[in-house]
Amino acid sequence: MTEIVSETATGGLTPEQVESFKENGFIGPFDLYGEDEAPLLWNQAVIEMVTSKNKPHDSTIINYDRHLDCDTLSTHIAHPTIVNKLRSLMGDDIICWKTNIFEKEPGESGTGWHQVEAFIVYESEDVAYPSLRYTEESKAATQELTVWTAFSPADKEHGCLRFLPGSHKQWYYDETRPLGRDVESKNHDFFGYDYSELQIDKDWDPNKHEIVDMGMKPGQFVIFLAKCVHGSHPNTSSDKRLGLASRYVSPSVKVYENIDSLTGFGDTINLDYHGSVLVSGEDKWGHNRIHETNLNGFPFPRVKTDEH
Amino acid sequence: MSTDDYRRKLADFLTKQPETSGLAHERVLAAQTRQDLGISSLTMVLLLTHYVEQYTDNTVTIRPEWVSRLGDVDGIASVLREIDAASLAPAQH
């Protein structure tokens, strides 16, 4: 199998940035693409989404994992500028297990505060499985990270991300409980769900916590723990906000161990297509299916480490 | 061809595509935005691929900079004009 090895690792986080991440649960923004370049890259990805011969799934509602069939996004998730910063926090061995497209139309409301770690999936009202199962302790700062890249303006007016710094140190929400969906309700501001239903201490008010708005220019990205409580502002601009979240774990983490399909937002997708992408290091564990190429045959790039 | 000619060409084209066959010619001529026509952004790119296939026999590659112009009908018409021009370009050399 052809393997493209991109540039040798450089550009990791400084010790001060690592400490800041440990304290706050997020770090950024960082420059990745030029302001004019990022929207064109997204447009190219859209062309590839439309013309793809082998889509991961047919859903137009669940927009997961288009890095598995769009060459532009296949390249993006393994970009050395991203991966080398992840290595500073996770160690050399890293897989990308999921991507989500986050579009926010003009006038669309903000996304409510939420906090996850295992990404619980409900098979039925009573049966739930974690998307991620951690199999061993790690000396790294974390085994799970999300990178959110802006492909359009993503400042406060456009509905930027916002974080509660330090909130990753404790659970404010119980992600193991099910949520009811109601797209008509204004309280259901987490993609049709009311995440505050999961709040552990009903008297706790996230809006009284210190809040950091993560305004980003097109082409910038932020790294964060999904366990760090986060949400977004409404989009009060006249432009669509475009972001891509790429999610990474150590290959020691079992991905979708007991999960064959995903249901949400009124649709279901089968996970037969799914595989993770090794973006750095090696997979010593063999827990997960690893895709060497995307579904259209494009070889995934991989950042070369000192050992490999 | 003038801008109005391209609007008519767009209307002719859209009314013959399976995704937009329910559109009336007059509605396309009167529309200002893609949303007025009820066409999603992804469907519009798909329609562009149909246009490239039909009018250039796939000799033209869709350019990322065109995608940003597919939000309004004049922008779509201008992209059709550029596709036609691009398909003719090799013959001019």
Residue B8 distance to chain A (closest CA, Å): 25
Which residues, at least 6 apart from A72, have a Cβ–Cβ distance to it below 8 Å? A41, A44, A45, A48
| The amino acid at A198 | L
**pLDDT of A175:** 84
Contact assessment for residue A224 and residue A157, using Cβ atoms and an 8 Å cutoff? no
Residue B11 distance to chain A (closest CA, Å): 22
**pLDDT of B30:** 93
Structure tokens at A137: 């302790």
Measured between beta carbons, the chain A residues lying within 8 angstroms of B65 are 40, 43
Structure tokens at A187: 């309280």
Angle at A155 between CA A150 and CA A159, to 5 degrees: 85
Q: Which of A33, A37, A43 to mutate to test the interface with B (most CBs of B within 10 A)?
A: A43
Please name the residues between 32 and 71 in chain B that touch chain A, using a CB distance below 8 Å: 41-42, 45-46, 49, 62, 64-68
Does the pLDDT value for residue B93 go beyond 50?
Answer: no
| Residues of A contacting chain B (CB within 8 angstroms) | 39-41, 43-44, 46-47, 49-51, 60
Q: State which residue of chain B sits closest to A52, comparing Cα positions.
A: B46
Residue B36 lies in domain? 3-88
Q: What is the mean pLDDT of residues B35-60?
A: 94
Secondary structure of A58-86 as H, E, C letters: CCCCCCECHHHCCHHHHHHCCCHHHHHHH
In the three-class reduction of DSSP (H, G, I as helix; E, B as strand; rest coil), residue A88 is classed as: helix
Residue A183 distance to chain B (closest CA, Å): 20
Contact assessment for residue B47 and residue B74, using Cβ atoms and an 8 Å cutoff? no
Task: Concatenate the DSSP letters of all residues of B4-53 into one string.
Answer: HHHHHHHHHHHTTSGGGTT--HHHHHH--BTGGGT--HHHHHHHHHHHHH
Per-residue pLDDT of chain A (308 residues; tens, 9 = 90+): 444 444 444 689 999 999 999 999 999 999 999 999 999 999 999 999 999 999 999 998 889 999 999 999 999 999 999 999 999 999 999 999 999 999 999 999 999 999 999 888 877 667 788 999 999 988 888 999 999 999 999 999 999 999 999 999 999 998 887 776 666 666 656 666 777 888 999 899 999 999 999 999 999 999 999 999 999 999 999 999 999 999 999 999 999 999 999 987 788 999 999 999 999 999 999 999 999 999 999 999 999 887 65
The domain that contains B57 carries what CATH number? 1.10.1200.10
Q: State which residue of chain A sits closest to B62, comparing Cα positions.
A: A47
Q: Exposure string (b/e) for B7-26, b if CB count within 10 Å is 16 or more?
A: bbbbbebbeebeebeebeee
Alpha-carbon span A131 to A135, nearest angstrom: 13
Q: State which residue of chain B sits closest to A105, comparing Cα positions.
A: B41
Count: domains in chain B: 1
Structure tokens at A302: 């991989």
Residue B51 distance to chain A (closest CA, Å): 13
pTM score, whole prediction: 0.91
A50 to B49: CB separation less than 8 angstroms, yes or no: yes
Reference A134, options A246, A279, A288; nearest CA is A288
Residue B64 distance to chain A (closest CA, Å): 5
Residue B25 lies in a domain: yes
Does the pLDDT value for residue B91 go beyond 70?
Answer: no
Burial category of A115 from C-beta neighbours within 10 Å (exposed 0-12, middle 13-18, buried 19 and up): buried
What is the CATH T-level fold of the domain A4-304, as seen in this structure?
Answer: Jelly Rolls (2.60.120)
Quote the ipTM score: 0.91
**pLDDT of A122:** 77
**pLDDT of A194:** 79
Alpha-carbon span B49 to B54, nearest angstrom: 9
Reference A270, options A53, A95, A65; nearest CA is A65
Measured between beta carbons, the chain B residues lying within 8 angstroms of A41 are 64
Helix axes B73-88, B41-56, angle to 10 degrees: 30
Residue B93 lies in a domain: no
Q: Which of A42, A46, A73, A238 to mutate to test the interface with B (most CBs of B within 10 A)?
A: A46
Task: Concatenate the DSSP letters of all residues of A117-159 into one string.
Answer: SS-EEESSSS-EEESEE--S--SSS-SEEEEEEESS-BSTTTT
Measured between beta carbons, the chain B residues lying within 8 angstroms of A44 are 64
Q: Show contacts of B7-10: CB within 8 Å, 24+ apart.
A: B7/B73, B7/B74, B7/B77, B9/B77, B9/B80, B10/B73, B10/B76, B10/B77, B10/B80
Please say whether the dihedral angle defined by the alpha carbons of residues A149, A154, A158 and A163, taken in this order, is positive or negative: positive
Structure tokens at A4: 């493209």
Measured between beta carbons, the chain A residues lying within 8 angstroms of B68 are 39-40, 43
Alpha-carbon span A212 to A237, nearest angstrom: 20
Q: How far is CA A127 from CA A124, A196, A261, in A?
A: 5, 21, 13
B46 to A50: CB separation less than 8 angstroms, yes or no: yes
